Chain A
């Protein structure tokens, strides 16, 4: 029993997860400093704003909490079934050895520091880049949007909203992670041999650690911290992600990035932050009650079934008109 509870809440004490207590504490500190020095609030008021009951006890954030619990249980149950990054890594590793003009361990004499630096940076960049594209597809393809809508149905944002995810979308994310890790591990061990290693702080990739201590949890919060315009071309500010959650059509399909804004900049989906206090968050297009758990879990499945059967119908009638 204790094991199950530890498994479910383990993310809060794992520095490789965004909701690690240390990162949450840093986010609180950053928010309070920002409210005092940039919004001219008193300390007392800042704390009141930050822990606003209307936000934390709202229907939306209560739903977040239950989704977190349910998804953790599902993930513990299905994780042994999903393929691991080692399967992908081994396959790619063998495949690289089969390419005759590639010399394995041809770079093994490079200084260890450089190898570690390259690996740490490469895996962070590949991870962030693939997150950008998967997120973009989540918005573009109707079947995936039916799933991702669960995340966007949040009407208020708290750090737990990061877990407001349909389980099927979670599987897509896991496959993405499996491939990025498999590719990085296999190619680096192939070319650099066994001195490949990761620079870590508290066991987490140092770059991920920096991103998280810099207040990554505030992107899912009502604290609309904005960066300088030039910095918002490089890093996604909390306000930029909050804008991604806005119902306003002008804000649709903007700021898909996770840590870095450079992908949005490069592929034309960047939107600089605005004063987000007036933003309305959520999905406007339908009137389902997305704070009901049964709706959150089952209506995306029905929507996907509907999309699929409509497509099958179109194909069927096209075929009929051809054969007639």
Chain B
């Protein structure tokens, strides 16, 4: 998780320093991802002091962090029309929904 989160921060930074202006999507990404991943002791890097040491703080907790990751996933899908969605939970859900065949039922008893 730590590695993935770290890579995610790097990925988001490279997106924003690329040639396209992300505008609002960039702001949202930064807010959701934070300065870096949530660490195993549920703390998160929040900044850097004058001598160059990382400052850590109580993170938002794993539940909320996962929720943020999900929202990042959705944001990326919406903003960049992501096609390859390997472990995408939302597509699992819409596959299931399709299988159930829609909720539009006019059958009456």
Contact = CB atoms under 8 A, between A and B. Distances in A.
Q: Do A and B come from one complex?
A: yes
A17 interface: yes
A194 B96 CA distance: 10
The 8 closest A-B pairs by CB, nearest first: A177-B103, A97-B67, A16-B101, A100-B63, A165-B108, A170-B106, A178-B103, A151-B108
Interface residues of A, number: 59
A101 B105 CA distance: 36
B14 to A, nearest CB: 27
Interface of A: 14, 16-18, 71, 75, 79, 82, 84-86, 89-90, 93-94, 97-102, 104, 123, 131, 135, 148, 151, 161-165, 169-170, 173-174, 176-178, 180-181, 185-186, 188-189, 194, 196-198, 200, 203-205, 219, 241, 244, 256-258
Interface of B: 61-64, 66-67, 70-71, 87, 89-90, 92-94, 96-97, 99-109
Contacts of A241: 109
A258 B109 contact: yes
Contacts, number: 114
A118 to B, nearest CB: 13
A237 to B, nearest CB: 13
B101 A14 contact: yes
Given A84-B97, A219-B109, A174 B103 contact: yes
Nearest to A83: B103
Given A75-B106, A173-B107, A94 B100 contact: no
Given A163-B107, A173-B108, A186 B93 contact: yes
Contact of B93 (A86, A102, A131): A86
